[in-house]
Chain A
């Protein structure tokens, strides 16, 4: 049991050690993100007042999340009144089974998907493939990752870590296409293949960026048009969405959509923002005959029950916190071993999948706060990492670490002892070179890659004392001269 429980942490450590020194990948990620940063800065600057907009966005999400029952019921009422079907899933298994049973009942053969992180979260594709359905991811990045047999690297930019030549090689191997170093040609290859997928599919599956309570709609944001086609062409549609995605009213999107675009990709507005209120309505030209929304809990209510961190459910999955995170930039998305990578993933995964198994993600942060600064809905991301650390210790302190901090506190509560101990710093510094970077070096984790400063002979304390004495002497001398 204990080895099983340690697995995610070990995987993280091993992968982080490897990826943090993978200079080729780190450079590719940094290049891709520098394009993002330029666009985001430019678009963000066009806002009259980004901070107030952010407070308003946070207020909308706070209202929704703190009255989640009311707004979900309102959505359900409005959406079903227009012929939609709502299914409530407590966990991954219930969500998967509902979709599998629906596909079986309707005689579905092939399925086209547009990007859905909830699909990754419940491991939907493996279940569908095992049941014999053809499943094609239609978002270009997701399609590339599907061909590669890899999970998305970043929940907004799924294949941002790949260079064009790697994608070209992949297409050559999997699709038999000619090599090219032109991103446009690569995109057109995928376009040709995927056109057939929309036409042939019996079922479309998507995620959703927002659930709108007052009009009973699902809002989907995308750039490529693949979600428009996925929700438009096949005769059955399923949208798989986390319960926290609800907003009170349609008008709220007038703020949230531009903020999502600006923070997510640096656009004023993403290419297609579409609100769907159920299946094809009487008198309409086209659209699915059936539209199912699967509302997914999967431990979101566990996070909801923590008022201190409840605002983590305000997240609109823009990915901005990943894009600015120096940890993400250096270790990349796969290292996290989670569906939701980066700072927000490190906050929510311990709630979703178990604090003791995933607490290491909250530990692997320098707490620089770039995530919190950039978050368009004002989530207190890096402070939540601190709170996860505290909760993990409260729940189950590690004996050796606990002893270290008890001794530390013991020392720091006793100034005399502390002063006595710190007198040995210069001596330690003198002796340190003898053991530096050997197994005996107590700070080897530091000295393997960085020099450790040596302590001067005289601490600040003793220098300040001498300084005060000198001043006092000068004053008494002056006094004596009078």
Chain B
């Protein structure tokens, strides 16, 4: 191998040599005004989402149901805490994991005192996290068109919290609901500029598999349940 990059120059050389003859574009799309990639047209073709907040919410709620996410609209943080409390007693939780954040810092003190809390910020023991009954995270955005929750390593407790415990609880505000992935990416770009978190993940329903006879089973490796607590 030529260097620590491997065969970089050789591969790029072959690529450039190969590209000397242009290939025709068989399916010209109208998008490339001036040749620059633009995403402006995508939403004209993808599944439609109504323009108002109500329509966005209605679609998100409908898709959540199809996806078997549990969407609970809460009047305030106290109600959110009460919802977690009742889930906790129904599933006999002992420990929940969470992270520091604007919403969670206010929510954490409201949670049942008998429920131990593991805060992942600053590092955690992976066996301890694996043993937790639920993980509570904030999120970046909710996506109406796809029923997705967008988490990042920056604001949702890192990479693992939202996927290792068997029950993932997301706490979000209605204002975080965006129309589609295009708006989601625009919003992330505006927030982080060039300095993106090392992970952006769109979570669409609880973990699932169809690997056995294409029959849907929830909780393949990630959470079996995904609960979204939506605050005004």
Chain A contacts to B: CB under 8 angstroms: 28, 31-33, 35-36, 46-50, 52-56, 58-60, 62-63, 65-69, 72-73, 82, 86-90, 94, 97-98, 138-141, 144, 157-160, 162-164, 167, 183-184, 186-188, 190-191, 194-195, 199, 215, 217, 223-226, 228-229, 231-233, 243, 248-255, 257-258, 265, 267-281, 284-287, 294-295, 297, 301-302, 304-305, 307-308, 310-311, 378, 380
Q: Give A295 to B157 CA distance when docked, in angstroms.
A: 30
Please measure, in the bound complex, the distance between the C-alpha atom of A82 and the C-alpha atom of B153, giving whole angstroms.
Answer: 14
Closest residue of chain B to A274 (Cβ to Cβ) is: B201
Closest A residue by C-beta to B201: A274
* Contact of A94 with B198 at beta-carbon distance under 8 Å, contacts A223-B208, A229-B160, A253-B185 already known: no
Question: From residue A209, how far is it (CB to closest CB) to chain B in Å?
Answer: 13
A261 to chain B, nearest CB (A): 8
From residue 138 to 155 of chain B, which have CB atoms closer than 8 A to chain A? 145-148, 153-154
Contact of A217 with B27 at beta-carbon distance under 8 Å, contacts A68-B15, A138-B221, A225-B220 already known: no
| B positions within 8 Å CB-CB of A | 1, 4-8, 10-12, 14-19, 21-32, 37, 39, 41-42, 44-48, 63, 99, 120-124, 126-127, 130, 145-148, 153-154, 157-164, 180-182, 184-186, 189, 196-215, 217, 219-223
Chain B residues whose CB sits within 8 angstroms of the CB of A144 once the complex forms:
211
A136 → B minimal CB distance (Å): 12
**What distance in Å separates the Cβ of B135 from its nearest Cβ neighbour in chain A?**
12
- A217 and B160 contact, CB distance less than 8 A: no
| A183 in contact with B212 given A88-B7, A284-B153, A285-B158 (CB within 8 Å) | yes
Contacts of B162 in A (CB 8 A): 228
A158 near B181 with CB under 8 A, answer: no
| 16 A-B contact pairs sorted by A residue (CB < 8 Å) | A49-B44, A52-B30, A62-B23, A69-B15, A72-B15, A87-B5, A88-B12, A199-B126, A223-B207, A224-B209, A225-B163, A231-B159, A275-B200, A285-B124, A286-B160, A287-B159
Contact between chains at B211 and A56 (CB < 8 Å): no
- The smallest C-beta distance from B131 to any residue of chain A, in angstroms, reads 10
Q: Are A59 and B199 in contact (CB under 8 A)?
A: no
A195 touching B130 in the complex, CB below 8 Å, given contacts A223-B207, A285-B158? yes
Shortest 8 CB-CB contacts between residues of A and residues of B: A225-B222, A285-B158, A224-B220, A254-B181, A305-B18, A232-B159, A141-B211, A53-B45
Residue numbers in B under 8 Å from A281 (CB-CB) = 153, 197-198
> Which residues of chain B have C-beta atoms less than 8 A from A250's C-beta?
185, 189
User: Shortest CB–CB separation between residue A362 and chain B, in angstroms?
Assistant: 19
Q: Are A90 and B11 also in contact (CB < 8 A) when A59-B27, A66-B19 are?
A: yes
Q: Which A residue's beta carbon lies closest to that of B24?
A: A307
| Cα distance, A378 to B28, chains bound together (Å) | 10
Report if A378-B26 is in contact (Cβ < 8 Å); known contacts: A160-B214, A243-B15. Answer: yes
With a cutoff of 8 Å between Cβ atoms, the chain B residues found around residue A255 in the complex are: 39, 42, 46
Contacts of B204 in A (CB 8 A): 267-273
Which A residues touch B199, using CB under 8 A?
Answer: 231-232, 274-277, 287
Interface centre among B146, B154, B157 (most CB of A within 10 A): B146
- Check A187–B130 contact: CB distance below 8 A: no
Besides A59-B27, A157-B210, A243-B11, 11 other A-B contacts (C-beta < 8 A): A48-B47, A90-B6, A184-B217, A223-B209, A232-B163, A254-B182, A268-B204, A271-B207, A272-B163, A274-B201, A287-B159
